[in-house]
Chains A and B, each alone.
Chain A
């Protein structure tokens, strides 16, 4: 493949709520939740932030990091399960806000937590075929968790944008492979404010089956093994799943450590795996190889093999790192969190 990452940018709202604060309201045992999920706090959007504002900020960071001319972007795809409009693409606002209009195609993607990586694959096809010069793939969410539901401990906010092209790459995408089935582990019906899920059904037949199948499928096609990679990122609905799946596949704790952002961030859904990749690119050296596998309920997994180029050192510090975005948070109580998330109807 002659295609890869030209630039990337992330955005995380400054507000956080600690797991203990949520557990206190619902009478849950915080320590068992902390042990079970390996999430200590999660990001919360400001009152005037949503998936569109987060996508725009991430896209602007991606444009600024590599000094990309927005006029060269021929496609923008935004993956999310919390698009503010049911009909009116998030990507139209992003395109206008970064100055990429009008000579481009845009669309919104939805595939639970892997809509952003599906957008990367679509951009890869358009860029490598020469239909567009550059494509932008975004994964962004202000994910929903019903009050008192287990998802409320993890559903967070954040977004990441990747500019995909064929020249001036900071990372080459060596190959990608997907594994998809009809598995009803998690869903949200039209017009419903919160998703439903199959509880533990989301684990083995959902997450683990699809992530391991996509990961082993890609490594088999490429003839690679876990030790060929410096770093690995797996979808992070919590801290436990990616840690366990990495071990199942033969990756070490050291390989997944830089990209495991979920303990301090929560699950940013469409931004989850892509945020882990951004955090890894923040510290990767030229020549490093990165393995990434996203997962989206419903269900499917996208696996990628990525090789970092010399250019990473030139542009890395021109936009905020994920570590910088995670620093200096503002903590809130549950009542303020409920107001920010629109759980209180005025």
Chain B
């Protein structure tokens, strides 16, 4: 991820800010500038998601891209937020505990870094809802 690209998405990554169409009631994450259902009559506004959701499906990554190699094995999951949108995120928990339907909540974590002297990227991952 380049620094400008991260900076543009920073608010979305930190606080799960997506969009909501007031016309049809649909929620979007990542945010959309236009509602694909309502098109030009849509009323799209920023929306901050609560950060509560459940695991739809998951995998455990043992062989990762170079930037994530030191974190293996890690859990990558598709999360369905309470408000409806699905997103892909790491889930931080015991690998024996992860299961489909698991309730999760957002947590603020490091997503990665450019290098030892480069930018650190922060954002949202998920942990079990029952965690402290």
Q: Which residues of A contact B (CB under 8 A)?
A: 12, 14, 46-50, 52-53, 56-57, 60, 84-85, 93, 96-97, 99, 320, 324-325, 327-328, 330, 339, 346
Q: Are B14 and A96 in contact (CB under 8 A)?
A: yes
Q: Are B108 and A53 in contact (CB under 8 A)?
A: yes
Q: Would you give 21 A-B contacts (Cβ < 8 Å), ordered by A?
A: A14-B132, A46-B109, A47-B70, A48-B71, A48-B111, A48-B125, A52-B122, A53-B110, A53-B122, A56-B108, A60-B108, A85-B120, A93-B14, A96-B11, A97-B14, A97-B108, A99-B15, A320-B132, A324-B132, A346-B69, A346-B70
- Which residues in A have their C-beta under 8 angstroms from that of B15? 97, 99
Q: Are B110 and A50 in contact (CB under 8 A)?
A: yes
Interface of B is mostly: mixed
How many chain B residues touch the partner (CB < 8 A)? Answer: 19
In the complex, number of A-B residue pairs with CB atoms less than 8 Å apart: 50
Q: Across the two chains, which residue of chain B brings its CB closest to A321?
A: B132
A-B pairs with the 6 shortest C-beta distances? Answer: A48-B110, A48-B109, A56-B108, A97-B14, A325-B132, A53-B108
Report Cα–Cα, A339/B11, bound state, in Å: 30
Distance of B32 from chain A, by nearest CB (Å):
21
**11 other contacts beyond A48-B92, A48-B109, A93-B14, with CB at 8 A cut-off?**
A14-B132, A46-B109, A47-B70, A50-B120, A52-B110, A52-B122, A56-B122, A325-B132, A327-B132, A330-B94, A346-B70
- Which residues in B have their C-beta under 8 angstroms from that of A60? 108
B107 sits at the interface (CB 8 A): yes
Pick from B69, B92, B107: contact of A57, CB below 8 A.
Answer: B107
- Which residues in A have their C-beta under 8 angstroms from that of B120? 50, 52, 84-85
Distance of A79 from chain B, by nearest CB (Å):
19
Q: Which residues of B contact A (CB under 8 A)?
A: 10-11, 14-15, 69-71, 92, 94, 107-111, 120, 122, 125, 131-132
From known contacts A320-B132, A324-B132, infer whether A46 and B92 are also in contact, taking CB-CB under 8 Å: yes
Pick from B10, B71, B131, B132: contact of A47, CB below 8 A.
Answer: B71
Distance of B89 from chain A, by nearest CB (Å):
12
Report Cα–Cα, A96/B120, bound state, in Å: 15
Pick from B14, B110, B132: contact of A49, CB below 8 A.
Answer: B110
Distance of B75 from chain A, by nearest CB (Å):
12
Report Cα–Cα, A48/B125, bound state, in Å: 10
Q: Are B109 and A49 in contact (CB under 8 A)?
A: yes
